[in-house]
Amino acid sequence: MLQKTTHAKLFTVLGALAFAAAVQADDPVTPAIPGVSAGGVVIELIKDGFKGTEGPIGYSDGSLLFTETQANKIVRIAPDNSVSTFLENSNGANGLALNANGEIIAVQTLQPKVGIISPVEKQKVFAENFEGKPFQRPNDVVLTKTGGIYFTDSGTRPSKDNPNPPASTPGVYHITPVGELKRLANDIDRPNGIQLNKEEKVLYVANTSGEHILAYDIGADGSITNKRNFAKLDGWKQADGAWSSGADVLAIDVADRLYVASNSGIEVFNAKGEPLGIIPLPQKPQNIAFAGPEKKTLYAVGRGAAYKIPLIAQGYKGRAK
């Protein structure tokens, strides 16, 4: 009887170990990228089934905020992974930013505009048209230390609901600290994510339809010059008869490395635009942001899913995004 009991316990233990190994084998893990990620760290799925996943930023309390565009709200993910609604009726907020006063600035798509959406009592519109023409689909936004606002308008695209949209006028814009709106570029096919380097001397723009992340030098007045291809994307692939990198939101860390959500996953480049590695995900990432008390967690949202990726690298603490 003792021998049978021992064998039964052994089989139970072995079965449990085999099950655990099988589960672990199926979990997505990080590759080893020097200075960025340790190899084999589990990438955690927080939740699936969100209705649109855009514009994440690290919030002041260590949580992550992102926009659930189709549900017209902003969602909060706490450090313990609990999910709650941060703001209802967000006017289709897409990209988010946080200013020095703790106010959330958003590019908004239902009634296209740029302005403060939270706190509600401080809501304010900064811009809703350029030279009398309304924005089409404001996409992403980043703030400077002096209060300047850079944002993209990706223009219109045919869809099931709107197969024949008006002529597209995509662009990159700047609202100066005194409120003057300027269009900086109108020669990018589909400007999407936008980001600054740590010193705020370089502006990065993701062209979803292009093969490269673009970079510009920033002048003292916020203007941009010296357009160039900064980083060549591995995500450049053909889909539905058209080539696209899928390049979306951008993030930086304390070493000025650039992280790009693309068709291939999260592509990482050094400050010279040299590729360092790719963090693949089960679902294509659309948006990424560092968050948490020490900003050592990279969150990725896309295709309705939200993931949490522990890293060695630390996100830049000089701004929320």
Structure tokens at 280: 């693949």
Selection from 173, 192, 66 nearest residue 129 by Cα:
173
Mean local confidence (pLDDT), 219-247: 92
User: What residues does each domain of the chain span?
Assistant: 1-29, 31-310
**What does the pLDDT read at residue 26?**
73
What digits encode the pLDDT tens for the residues 43-75? 999 999 999 899 999 999 999 999 999 999 999
**What does the pLDDT read at residue 262?**
96
**What does the pLDDT read at residue 238?**
82
**What does the pLDDT read at residue 96?**
97
∠ at Cα 25 (24, 26), nearest 5°?
90
Mean local confidence (pLDDT), 207-235: 97
Task: Quote the CA–CA distance of 240 and 247 in Å, as a whole number.
Answer: 16
Q: What is the pTM of this model?
A: 0.90
With a cut of 80, say whether residue 127 has pLDDT above it. Answer: yes
What digits encode the pLDDT tens for the residues 157-185? 665 666 666 677 899 999 999 999 999 99
With a cut of 60, say whether residue 16 has pLDDT above it. Answer: no
With a cut of 50, say whether residue 11 has pLDDT above it. Answer: no
Rg of the Cα atoms in the chain? 21
| Reported confidence tier of residue 114, pLDDT bands at 50, 70, 90 | very high
CB atoms within 10 A of CB 19: 10
**What does the pLDDT read at residue 124?**
97
With a cut of 70, say whether residue 7 has pLDDT above it. Answer: no
**Record: fold of 31-310:** Neuraminidase (2.120.10)
Selection from 147, 244, 257, 146 nearest residue 197 by Cα:
257
Mean local confidence (pLDDT), 114-126: 97
Tell me the pLDDT of the chain averaged across its residues.
90
With a cut of 80, say whether residue 188 has pLDDT above it. Answer: yes
Q: Which of 35-49, 157-171, 301-315 has the lowest mean pLDDT?
A: 157-171
Q: Which residue has the higher pLDDT, 17 or 271?
A: 271
Mean local confidence (pLDDT), 274-284: 96
